[in-house]
Amino acid sequence: MSTGINPRDPDEPPSDTAPDGADPAIGYVFEHTRGRKCLVFTNSREEAEEVTTTLRRYCEVNHEPDRFLIHHGNLSASIRESAEELMRDDSADLSIVATATLELGIDVGRLERAFQINAPFTVSGFLQRMGRTGRREAPPEMWFVMREEQPEPRALTPETLPWELLQGIALVQLYREEHWVEPARLDRLPYSLLCHQTLAILASEGELTPPQLATRVLTLTPFHRISADDFRVLLRHLLAHDYVQTAETGGLIVGLAGERVTNNYKFYAVFQESVEYTVRCDSQEIGTLCAPPPPGEKVAIAGHVWLVEEVDHKRRLLYVTQVKGRVPAYFGECAGDINTRVLVRMRQALEESTPYAYLRPQARARLAQARHVAKNGGLTKSPLMSLGGNMWCLFPWLGSYAFLALERLLKIRCAKDLGLKGLDSSRPYFMTFVMREGMTEQTFFEILTGAAAELGDPMDLVYPAEVPYFEKYDELVPEELVRKGFALGTLDVAGMKARVRQWANERGIIWAEPAQIVPAD
């Protein structure tokens, strides 16, 4: 099923007809792009491939010329540039399906409207995408199209809520009501970037003494939270593994292992890269894929389906031929990060009775249904809901990193006292779990409050053998710094504690932090 957020007249008739049995959401996009130049934004490369393949199939079924292009980071430069050039032709009514690659910067000519498949992750992303339309004195248009699977008859209450619709409403309302956008996170501990800049400065400057190198690196704005002690730990590690070495004069220079890193043409791109295989059909380069399937299997890329003929693992090449059909694409992407303010505004959308004039009738009906479910279940009154028996659901209304910190607190510090089992997280919306028989809501919050208050070191939320590599040069960084960067720079422990403390205050539970021992003079 699909719901829509549409800034125009909700009763506007379709401009054409999607094939019988079409996916309602994609059929809606198909209907409202004919005769116009449009951008269709998706939140992942996989979704971009799936949407493009479906739209092209609808063209084929309707015996129409293909009017859909595709643009994302795994496509070859020639395919991306060809799509950009075709879109710049104002006489051609084409639409292009894209990821964040077309949010800003690239000229694709006059655009009349943008579609967003499901809610984007941020207000800033929503504004960037909407800003691509409305050129040449026309108002900007952004049409949200929310895709939902029909809930199973026995689905649990939290699974029946339209989370994407609520998220889309929250993003729109935060900007309409407050002109709010996500602030930059300045509290990170970017050790991967620190390693990159250390090697980059040595590669460009040549020999530097340790104090000179520390001054050049640690005075850069991103490293304002990184201590001299942490930098010494990094330098010792780089010296021990020959990424850096000591010159005869006592200064530091790039070592042999470091030269292999800095001499690579990809060195100055600080973003993580997966091991990718180049996909080729005859002499044409199509794009790149991670973890290619064996010969005889099919892959989806560039909006088409291809049969894998040969895999050259040594040269990382995938030889394919184009075929008909449909298969899911996979590029190894992760979901984006959502700010706590967005989740709080989603909760408000469930509590209030505002109809929101920009919603289409089906979206209004879906929102009304969700509000009815939330009211009857007390979902916005208490964050903890009984699902029957010993199963419970927690709605923290926290952003991605605070939610993750709470999830780890429950697993690591509360599981034994609560008799917690089978915690299943739908991050960052809700988590379900089983608690010991006889456990009450009040007892849950008492145990949770005690664990949060006693948590002094965020490192306690990192599993003993865990080394959470996320960034490109994490593997060159000492494990102790990788763990520290995740615990103190990625997890939002402060945001998690603030929410748990709020819950404690609402229930009259005392927040008792460990006593601080002050040494005598």
Asked if residues 87 and 67 have their Cβ atoms less than 8 Å apart, the reply is: no
Tokens of 499: 């929410």
Question: At residue 262, does pLDDT exceed 80?
Answer: yes
> pLDDT class for 50, splitting at 50, 70, 90?
very high
* Greater pLDDT, 96 or 268: 96
- Tell which residue, 31, 32, 69, 73, has the closest CA to residue 51: 69
Average pLDDT over residues 302-317: 85
Question: At residue 317, does pLDDT exceed 60?
Answer: yes
Q: Strands 244-246 and 304-312, how do they pair?
A: unpaired
Average pLDDT over residues 37-56: 92
**Distance between CA 458 and CA 465 in Å, rounded?**
15
Question: At residue 519, does pLDDT exceed 70?
Answer: no
- Tell which residue, 112, 132, 109, has the closest CA to residue 120: 132
Tokens of 231: 């930098």
Average pLDDT over residues 160-171: 96
Question: At residue 468, does pLDDT exceed 60?
Answer: yes
Q: Which residue has the tokens 């659901």?
A: 393
* Greater pLDDT, 366 or 132: 366
Q: What is the pLDDT of residues 438-461, one digit of tens each?
A: 999 999 999 999 999 999 999 999
Which pLDDT score, from 0 to 100, does residue 294 have?
A: 74
Write out 388-444 in H/E/C secondary structure: ECCEEEECCCCCHHHHHHHHHHHHHHHHHHHCCEEEEEECCCEEEEECCCCCCHHHH
Q: How many residues does the chain have?
A: 521
**CA 24, 26, 30, 33 torsion-angle sign:** positive
Q: What is the pLDDT of residues 335-358, one digit of tens each?
A: 568 999 999 999 999 999 998 999
What does the radius of gyration of the chain's CA atoms come to, in whole angstroms?
26
Q: Which residues does 470 contact at the CB level (< 8 Å), separation at least 6? A: 192, 272, 486, 490
- Tell which residue, 405, 384, 514, 385, has the closest CA to residue 461: 405
What single string gives the DSSP state of each residue in 4-16?
EE-SS-TTPPPSS
Q: What is the pLDDT of residues 235-260, one digit of tens each?
A: 999 999 999 999 999 999 999 999 99
Mean pLDDT of the chain: 88
Q: Give the pTM.
A: 0.83
Q: What is the pLDDT of residues 378-430, one digit of tens each?
A: 888 899 999 999 999 999 999 999 999 999 999 999 999 999 999 988 989 99
Alpha helices in 289-410 (DSSP H): 340-351, 361-377, 400-409
**Other CB atoms within 10 A of residue 462 CB:** 20
Q: Residue type at 163?
A: W
What single string gives the DSSP state of each residue in 61-73?
HTT----EEEE-T
* Greater pLDDT, 510 or 302: 510
Which pLDDT score, from 0 to 100, does residue 67 have?
A: 95
> pLDDT class for 9, splitting at 50, 70, 90?
very low
- The region, left, alpha or beta by phi > 0 then psi within -120 to 50, assigned to residue 416 is alpha
Which pLDDT score, from 0 to 100, does residue 291 have?
A: 64
**Distance between CA 107 and CA 78 in Å, rounded?**
16
Question: At residue 10, does pLDDT exceed 50?
Answer: no
Tokens of 358: 């920009």
Average pLDDT over residues 467-496: 93
Question: At residue 282, does pLDDT exceed 60?
Answer: yes
**CA 470, 334, 170, 42 torsion-angle sign:** positive
